């Protein structure tokens, strides 16, 4: 029987991708749909997409599908035709990346999940199809100018830290699940206001808008296609761009620039920077913002401790990993914000 998982070493695959000259296009898509047999669908989809050299990460659950992928540009038509053979994916909207070097993914992974987005909600408690009104970029710009409109960023703090819409409320949360009750409490006295929400590609808002309508909010709207589609429409139609900074993305690029503004700071020295990286010490691997100067100073790690650890030979690292605690085990995503002075003291 054909293997329906990649089994090649990831470092080999990454090197192959770095050397690949075939143009690739990065895109994302999602669809809420009641899947009766997610495992069967997952295997069918894997065979369908592997055939046309699709890379990426796709989640499949009883409630539908959520995918971020890259496709050989010459196979985009074949990819669309492949999706169109699946009834609930026919003519689905595809969100194309804004900044794209084709190096976003190095293999195809399709995972079975309980939810396509972890939300902590009981789907039986409300109608997920009773969602908010979709807004295109022009309608979004118009509505968010009104005094009785509240604009909510449904993403996590490490996403909004590097870029967000002007005037948006950006909750200090690490997960979508965590954000839902916090936002509801923040908006408790605004149930008759226009509530406009946005996220990266729209999927979180599909669920959140239905949830808030269920909780009694009268006028709920969502940015159709999220930041990705907004940026495309703004550029094509010559509209005012109300998004400042970068759009965080969940692939190897970790971000795509929407405006030239740099609104965040390096987590190590405090200088302007909006480049997300993962600590080069894989035993830590924490996500943080690092400027080029600190990348050189710390050898692309998050701390002197990780830099020192990385300089040890493999046998020493293997032994120390059993007892050492790094920032990746102490802090949540994007929560590490060292001061260089404090960090240097760590090594003394």
Catalytic annotation, residues: 199
For residue 213, what is the DSSP state? H
The candidate with the shortest Cα–Cα distance to 281, out of 252, 314, 245, is 314
* Contact by Cβ (8 Å): 114, 61: yes
- Any bridge partners for residue 31, and if so which? 65
Q: What is the DSSP letter of 155?
A: S
Q: For residues 290 and 300, give the distance between their C-alpha atoms in angstroms, rounded to a whole number.
A: 8
Distance, in Å, from the CA atom of 159 to the CA atom of 180, rounded to the nearest integer, reads: 16
271 C-beta neighbours (distance < 10 Å), count: 12
Segments of 73-191 assigned E as strands: 95-96, 108-112, 133-135, 149-153, 163-165
> Among residues 141, 144, 171, which one has the least CA distance to residue 156?
171
Beta strands 276-278; 287-289: pairing state:
antiparallel
Torsion of CA 173, 56, 205, 222, to 10 degrees: 120
| 341/28 Cα distance (integer angstroms) | 41
| Pairing outcome for strands 149-153 and 194-198 | parallel
């Amino acid at each position: 029987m054909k293997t329906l998982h990649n089994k090649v070493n990831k470092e080999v695959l990454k090197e192959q991708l770095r050397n690949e000259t075939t143009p690739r296009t990065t895109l994302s898509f999602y669809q809420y749909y009641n899947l009766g047999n997610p495992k069967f669908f997952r295997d069918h989809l894997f065979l369908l997409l592997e055939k046309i050299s699709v890379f990426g990460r796709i989640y499949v659950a009883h409630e539908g599908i959520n995918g971020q992928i890259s496709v050989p540009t010459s196979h985009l038509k074949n990819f669309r035709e492949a999706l169109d053979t699946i009834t609930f994916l026919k003519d689905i909207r595809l969100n194309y990346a804004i900044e794209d070097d084709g190096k976003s993914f190095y293999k195809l992974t399709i995972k079975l999940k309980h939810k396509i987005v972890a939300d902590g909600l009981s789907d039986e408690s409300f109608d997920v199809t009773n969602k908010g009104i979709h807004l295109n970029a022009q309608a979004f710009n118009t509505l968010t100018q009104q005094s009785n409109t509240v604009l909510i960023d449904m993403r996590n703090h490490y996403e909004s830290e590097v870029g967000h819409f002007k005037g948006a409320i950006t909750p200090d949360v690490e997960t979508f699940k965590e954000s839902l009750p916090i936002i509801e409490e923040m908006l408790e006295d605004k149930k008759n206001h226009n509530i406009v929400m946005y996220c990266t590609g729209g999927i979180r808002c599909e669920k959140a808008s239905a949830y808030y309508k269920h909780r009694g909010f009268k006028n709920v709207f969502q940015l159709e296609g999220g930041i990705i589609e907004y940026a495309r429409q703004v550029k094509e139609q010559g509209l005012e761009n109300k998004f400042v900074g970068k759009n965080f993305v969940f692939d190897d690029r970790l971000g795509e620039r929407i405006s030239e503004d740099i609104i965040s700071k390096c987590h190590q020295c405090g200088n302007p920077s909006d480049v997300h990286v993962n600590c080069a010490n894989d035993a830590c691997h924490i996500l943080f913002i690092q400027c080029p100067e600190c990348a050189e100073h710390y050898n692309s790690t998050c701390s002197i401790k990780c830099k020192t650890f990385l300089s040890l030979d493999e046998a020493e690292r293997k032994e120390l990993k059993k007892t050492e605690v790094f920032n990746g085990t102490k802090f949540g995503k994007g929560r590490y914000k060292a001061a260089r002075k404090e960090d240097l003291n760590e090594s003394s």
